[in-house]
Structure 1
Amino acid sequence: MRYRFYKKIECMMLPLSQSLLVSLAVPILCLSYTPSLVVGKITDVVLFGDSFTDQSRAHSIANGSVPGKDYQEVFPPIDFSADGGVQWPWYLGLYGNYRIWNYAVGGAVCSNNLTPLFDEPDVISGQEFWFVQDHIDGFNTSGQRLLLDPASFVVIQYIGTNDVGINSFVTFNESANVSLPDVADCQLDHLRAMHKLGVRNFILNSLIPLQITKLYSNSSAPTIYWPHVHDGNAWNNGMYNLVHSLNRMLIDGVKVLNAEWGGDGKVEWFDTYGFFEEMFNHPTQFFNGSIPANVTGHCHQCPDPDDFTQCGIGDCTLDERDSYMWWDELHPSEQTGRNLAAEMLKKIEGRSKF
């Protein structure tokens, strides 16, 4: 099913849904359009990232089944992703009629050499390897060939939350002699590596305003992700600075890459931070469940921060889920993901203000 009719109008309704599929209703945003990312018709979207994007790879790895060539598992129905349902790339594929190649892994960072965290397949090596496995013929030989038409697909990179988060920068646990510019360089170097493989269309996502999540709020109470009393004010202020600093470095890096490539490739900046602020500041335009829009609480409850087995007790109902911006203390909800997918479609088509 293709939902392409809204391409013809300048003011569009963003998709919302109570079900796994689609029912429509959301903000009317009238925007001034910018030139499209690409000249050719986009048919495929390739994604690198962490649990904000992962559809099932982290679960597959944890269950002892390392994703192989052309892996395309989407949760649910067998399980659910970190947003409590289906991740936003699935909706992007639906809205834009794209084939989705999602290499994101929950718990991932840009490079395990910098901020190892859980040692999940990182963007710059593990996830890049999967891309090579699926789309590069004769890798590292004189006959190396990209199997996708460079004009027909776009790479979206959306990483950094785990790099700056708990057990890393915000808790002062980053590796020795590693600084925030190293993390920014990692993201930019991955885009360079993909460019060498023949990729020409890129979207680099900023970090979201992590300081508005429960995990990084000014509350010092334990959470399921950090079951210890901590200095909430220090975390909140520190995360604000980390996010803004890394985003600024990445914005500057986008300019460097575009100048470096001299028109042979293009990186677009997607202001995920600004888009999340828009949802946070205008919740009734984006969230329409059976209860009032809620951008400060979260749907998924874990009553005892020391006991994962109790998680789910007191969750919001299925009818209420579309009212929440957040699934849990850190992860956006499925409804937030639908909103992101709709805006990302507009970005690909050159119609987004973000």
Structure 2
Amino acid sequence: MQLFTFALIAASAVVFADTDNHGHPGWGSHFVPTFDNLVTFGDSYTDESRLGYFINHNGSAPPPGLLLPGSTSTAGGGVTWDRWVSNYPIRGLRPLISTNYTSAKLYNYAVSGAVCDNNQIYRYLGAINGPFPDVVYEVNAFIADSRFVNATTNTNTLYTNRKSDNTVYSMWIGTNDLGSYAFLTDSSLNQTTIPDYVDCIYSRFDQIYTNGGRYFVLINTAPLELSPLYGTPGQGGLAASHYWPDKPANITEVSYKMKEYTTLVNSLFTYRTPYEAVVAKRYPGASFAVFDVHSLMTDIYNHPSQYLSTPANVTGTYYFCSPSNTNCTTSRLGLDHFMWYDELHPSEATDKVIAREFVNVVKGASKYAAYWK
């Protein structure tokens, strides 16, 4: 009976929030009053150069106060979605001018290979002689940067214009938590479960909130079951990959299990976020958007000609290596024809679509988002 009552309360919160926040007096036409800064956390779907810094500095983290540069040498083969949103020029390249994007300054803490918490999933990287830095590290790095004081100027020379009402904080993490050598293969540590991974995300929001964050975008898990790494036979699913050379033979079972996991996590996000924001009032004065990138990417998969150059390819990869990570080749077609850069990572073309919709999310007008405050 208590569970039933809780479900009714949570459902009521969802209905109230959904009808209240679109055109809510005081909400305005935008999710955030002024979008001057974008602070991002996540994994290779978001990272530009942070893992590269670790690798090039013997596993050492960037020092507080250092703004890392943008890059086109990313896991997606080009410019990341958050860099497209930012519209800040990358050194040596022309500015990414487009009316679809913004002029928000990007502070990117994402690390390729990251999970939410290394105490739940431990993934070792020989190049840094330790685990991939996790989101726990990322948020702590943000806090250190936000408190940084330049010894010469006695001011914070990194965050020069960060306010509670002009900065959006986005979180997109889960690809490595749910995948091979993680929950999918029963490789979690300390008897942790998928709800523990979800707990980790909201605990990180706690830290950001305490440090002044008030506008949060939680990006749900991508449709990993549609990727070549986790897809079904006949739909681009691979029997083996350099990301998972010892993949089980029943790749249909793998794909269905991944679909179960992404669906479970996204359902948890859908109901827990309004509970924490509206019922439990865990973040007073904060606003949340859950960006349903799963549905957006599924739409790209099902209607590719609406998003990609023709002929569009949503089951294959632009860049492919053998399971031994040799004999790597690239397609004769341009990257803009592909949904996937390689077996696991969305292409730059997909990132452009995600970026355009993220801007709609921040405007408070995305059909792929739900809003609560």
Category of TM-score, reference length = shorter chain: 0.7 to 0.9
Are residue 129 (structure 1) and residue 140 (structure 2) matched?
A: yes
Three-state SS of the structure 2 residue aligned to 1:310 is: coil
Listed one character per residue, the Cα deviations across residues 57-86 of structure 1 (whole Å, up to 9, x for unaligned) are 11221222632323222113xxx1000111
Which residue of structure 1 aligns with residue 132 of structure 2? 120
Contact 1:154/1:203 (8 A) holds in 2: yes
CA RMSD of aligned residues (A): 2.0
Letter in 1 for 2:286: G
Hey, what does 1:70 align to over in structure 2?
66
- How far apart are the structure 2 equivalents of 1:150 and 1:336? 30
Offset of residue 133 of structure 1: 2.1
2:313–2:337: 8 Å Cα contact kept in structure 1?
Answer: yes
| Maintained 8 Å contact 2:32/2:168 | no
Identity of aligned residues (%): 31
Question: Runs of 5+ in structure 1 lacking a partner?
Answer: 1-32, 139-144
Deviation at 1:229, TM superposition (A): 4.7
Equivalent residue, structure 2, for 1:100: 106
Structure 2 length normalisation: TM-score? 0.77
How far did residue 162 of structure 1 move? 0.5
For normalisation by structure 1, the TM-score amounts to 0.81
Moved over 3 A (4+): 33-39
1:236 corresponds to which residue? 255
Give the Cα separation in 1 of the matches to 2:295 and 2:66: 33
Contact 2:312 / 2:338 at 8 angstroms: preserved in 1?
yes
Residue in structure 1 matched with residue 115 of structure 2 by the alignment: 109
1:5 aligns to what? none
2:36 matched to 1:43? yes
Q: Find the residue that maps to 2:334 and give its secondary structure.
A: helix
Deviation at 1:262, TM superposition (A): 6.5
Match of 2:308 in 1: 287
**Structure 1 residue 39 displacement after superposition:** 5.0
Distance 1:218-1:262 versus aligned 2 partners, 3 A rule: closer
Matched, 1:297 2:316: yes
Q: In the alignment, residue 327 of structure 2 is paired with which amino acid? A: Q
Query: Cα 1:62–1:258, aligned 2, differ >3 Å: closer, same or farther?
Result: same
8 Å contact from structure 1 (residues 221, 228) kept in 2 = no
Q: CA 1:62–1:137 in 2, change beyond 3 Å: closer, same or farther?
A: closer
Aligned counterpart, 1:82: 75
Q: 1:83 to 1:39 in 2, by over 3 A?
A: closer
Residue 316 of structure 1 pairs with residue 331 of structure 2: yes
Aligned residue pair count: 305
In structure 2, what is the equivalent of residue 9 of structure 1?
A: none
Secondary structure of 1:157 counterpart? strand
Runs of 5+ consecutive residues of structure 2 not aligned to the other structure: 1-21, 88-100, 125-130, 150-155, 369-373
2:241 counterpart letter in structure 1: T
SS in 2 for 1:183: helix
